[in-house]
Amino acid sequence: MTGATIDHLVSVVIFLVAILIFIGLFNQTIQTAILYQQHRYLATKCSDTLDNILLNPGSPPYWGLTSTNPTSFGLQDPEFTQYRLSPFSLMRLNSSIGTPAFYSKTGLYYSNTTTGFGESLLVPYNEAIDSKAAASLLGINGSYGFSLTFTPTVTVSVSEVQFNPLEVQVKVAGSGYPFAYSNISYCLINTTNVAGTYPSYNIIKQDNVPTDDQGLASLSFNGTIGSYALIAYAHTNGLVGVGCYEHLCYTDNYAVPLVSDFDSGDMLIANSWDIIGGANPSAISYNATFVLLTEDFTLQEMSLENATQRTGIVNFGMGQPYGIIKISTDNPGILVISYMKADNNSDSGIVLMPWGISSMAFPLTFGDDPNRKEWVATDIRQVTVGNIAYQAKLALWSLEGYQMVN
């Protein structure tokens, strides 16, 4: 009798232990399957969300050209179909990697996209769209986090071989491959300063300069060159890229263009000392012009609307007004501002600002940081932004999912 009881107890204990172990094993398999299912759903959601963003222009369709906040979020160029994006809608996205700039004379913070000295895009936060607003309009706020990046497909690198006489090398490459025998159009803006006046410039343009089998092209210029900027467009097999280079004789103080109002196209010209400070503040005079890329890949100078505003002097410190210029075109282009120290015409330089993010092939990162998220789904599309080839990549992660790690 006792033996039977012990046998019974032992068998029950073994049975319970075995059941627990098997439940654990099955549970683990099921848990993994559920996780896989959720990850698959996330990947599908990522692909759908990316297409939602890229294949509709939002509402109103031309919100990128105005200061109004969209009521539906989308980046497609309303004048085209498929994966062609509006360079102006992209310009209104709040960059998530640049350090915000504060300009005390307007009392505003600016979203900062800077790719190098003298190549910047500063958009006031009250005109920019932040990722939270975009997520709300996409219907994923609180459910998913995202990071949307736009990277130019073609890299055009411009470097100075020698200054006098000027020789510049342009290198065109994709991801690891040089673009042999591609065509280059370029525009050299050279300051020719005269004492006591505003800085002036001349523009040298040429198109259809081929690269060699290494994707390199050498450009030579005769005559006196001061501070200059060179903008080069390269195009081959449907892919268009752009690169810029500035040679600056003076960088203590310089002109900083700031977007003021998308509706009116007003830009502010600020003295750099008022934004980033510096050791030797000085007033600077400036002369602004605008160049745009035509459909045949040539660069065309376009007059600014108000001829009297294109030149001026901006001083540093409180009480000194900033300059205002107006860009009155819906076509992407580059605002070129030549500047010089107001009391020394040899101290000069040139700064560039894209009007439409594609005109200088600015990269853009919009959204939150995907680092340290447990599972991030990504998807990629090739897109065209104002004729410039970009790669659009969306990283998406769940904010409320199973086993989410914060």
Partner 1 sequence: MRTVEILLVIIIITGAFIISSFFAVLPQPRRVSPINLRRLALTTLQTLDSDHGLSTTAFMPPDDSSWNSLEAAISACLPPNIVYNLTVYQVQTNGSALYQPLKSISNVEDLGVESDASSSLVASSNVTFNVIPEKIGERGDGGTLYILNCSDANGWWISGYTAQTLAQDLCTLFSPYFQPNNIILLNNTGQLGQVLDGIPIQGERIQNAIVINTFGEAVPIPTSYANKYSSDNYAQYCYQLGNKTLYCNWTWASIVGDPFYYVTNIVKFNGIQSWGIYGTQTVGQKGLTAFLRGLNNLTYISPSDTSYQEIGTVNLTSTMLANCSNYGIYPSRSQTSSRALPNSILAAYNLVARVLLFDPSPSYPTYIPGALFEHRNGGSVAGRFLDLGLARTPDIRLTALALLSYFNPRLYRAEHTVADTSRLVVLQLGQVGGI
* Least CB distance to partner 1 at residue 297 (A): 9
Span 195-214, contacts to partner 1 by CB under 8 A: none
Smaller CB separation from partner 1, 4 or 279:
4
Smaller CB separation from partner 1, 45 or 105:
45
Strands (DSSP E) contained in 211-328 are 216-221, 228-236, 239-247, 255-261, 266-271, 284-293, 299-302, 311-314, 323-326
Q: Does 82 bind partner 1 (CB under 8 A)?
A: yes
Q: Does 61 bind partner 1 (CB under 8 A)?
A: yes
Span 376-405, contacts to partner 1 by CB under 8 A: 377-384, 387, 389, 391
The order of strands in the sheet holding 388-398 is 84-85, 377-385, 388-398, 144-152, 364-367
Cβ distance 128 to 100 under 8 Å? no
* Least CB distance to partner 1 at residue 324 (A): 21
- At residue 87, φ and ψ (nearest 5 deg) are -65, -20
Cβ distance 169 to 184 under 8 Å? no
Q: Strand pairing of 323-326 and 344-355?
A: unpaired
* Least CB distance to partner 1 at residue 333 (A): 18
SS3 137: helix
Smaller CB separation from partner 1, 26 or 117:
26
* Least CB distance to partner 1 at residue 326 (A): 16
Smaller CB separation from partner 1, 128 or 173:
173
- Distance in angstroms (rounded) separating the CA atoms of residues 348 and 190: 11
* Least CB distance to partner 1 at residue 1 (A): 14
Cβ distance 204 to 221 under 8 Å? yes
At 95, which helix (H) or strand (E)? Answer: none
Residue 259: exposure state from Cβ atoms within 10 A (0-12, 13-18, ≥19): buried
* Least CB distance to partner 1 at residue 184 (A): 14
Determine the interface stretch with partner 1 among 76-84, 101-109, 298-306, 360-368 (rule: CB under 8 A).
Answer: 76-84
Span 296-335, contacts to partner 1 by CB under 8 A: none
| Interface residue with partner 1, options 20, 27, 31, 36 (CB under 8 A) | 36
Please compute, for residue 273, the number of CA atoms within 13 A of its CA located in the half-sphere on the CB side. Answer: 17
The residue count for binding partner 1 (CB under 8 A) is 57
Q: Does 363 bind partner 1 (CB under 8 A)?
A: no
Cβ distance 247 to 160 under 8 Å? yes
* Least CB distance to partner 1 at residue 144 (A): 14
Encoding tokens for residue 81? 């179909």
- Distance in angstroms (rounded) separating the CA atoms of residues 363 and 360: 9
Smaller CB separation from partner 1, 235 or 341:
235
* Least CB distance to partner 1 at residue 289 (A): 24
Smaller CB separation from partner 1, 130 or 374:
374
* Least CB distance to partner 1 at residue 109 (A): 29
Determine the interface stretch with partner 1 among 11-19, 141-149, 304-312, 319-327 (rule: CB under 8 A).
Answer: 11-19
* Least CB distance to partner 1 at residue 319 (A): 36
Encoding tokens for residue 173? 């490459």
- Distance in angstroms (rounded) separating the CA atoms of residues 154 and 385: 13
* Least CB distance to partner 1 at residue 8 (A): 6
Span 165-184, contacts to partner 1 by CB under 8 A: 173-182
Cβ distance 243 to 232 under 8 Å? yes
- Distance in angstroms (rounded) separating the CA atoms of residues 170 and 380: 28
Q: Does 237 bind partner 1 (CB under 8 A)?
A: yes
Question: Cα 398–30–144 angle (5° rounding)?
Answer: 5
- At residue 63, φ and ψ (nearest 5 deg) are -65, -25
Smaller CB separation from partner 1, 21 or 161:
21
Smaller CB separation from partner 1, 296 or 400:
296
Q: Does 79 bind partner 1 (CB under 8 A)?
A: yes
- Distance in angstroms (rounded) separating the CA atoms of residues 117 and 255: 11
Task: List residues near partner 1 by CB under 8 A.
Answer: 7-8, 10-11, 14-15, 18-19, 22, 25-26, 29, 32-33, 36, 39-40, 42-43, 47, 51, 61-62, 78-79, 82-83, 153-154, 173-182, 235-240, 375, 377-384, 387, 389, 391
